[in-house]
Amino acid sequence: MERHNKTITYWVNGERESTKQEVLTVGTILSDAEFTPITDYTLRSENPKRDYDSNYDEEVELHDEQRFEVLYKGPTPTS
């Protein structure tokens, strides 16, 4: 994974994350944001719009201030 001197700030479900790496995998983004086990979640980029589904090894080229949404894949409880 490429590294550079600039810190990239990105957001996961509204929480600030940062890295000096220009490229992270989907799984790394999820685990760094403490969504574990990562297989319970999927990642969606808000801009550009993109669903990464369960492609945890897929590399994501990060852009400063990029925003991601994490979705839970498990069953939703009903009342």
Query: What CATH number should be reported for the domain holding residue 59?
Result: 3.10.20.30
Residue 77 falls inside a structural domain: no
Number of other residues whose CB lies within 10 A of the CB of residue 25: 18
**Per-residue pLDDT for 75 more than 90?**
no
Q: How confident is the model at residue 79 (pLDDT cuts 50, 70, 90)?
A: low
Give pLDDT, residue 57. Answer: 97
Torsion over CA: 37, 41, 45, 51 (sign) = positive
48 in a domain, yes or no? yes
Name the residue range of residue 67's domain: 3-72
Summarize pLDDT for 19-51 with one digit per residue, the tens.
999 999 999 999 999 999 999 999 999 988 999
Q: Domains in the chain: how many in total?
A: 1
Q: Which residues pair with 66 in a beta bridge?
A: 10
**61 in any annotated domain:** yes
Judge whether 17 lies within some domain. yes
Residue 14 lies in a domain: yes
User: Which pTM was predicted?
Assistant: 0.87
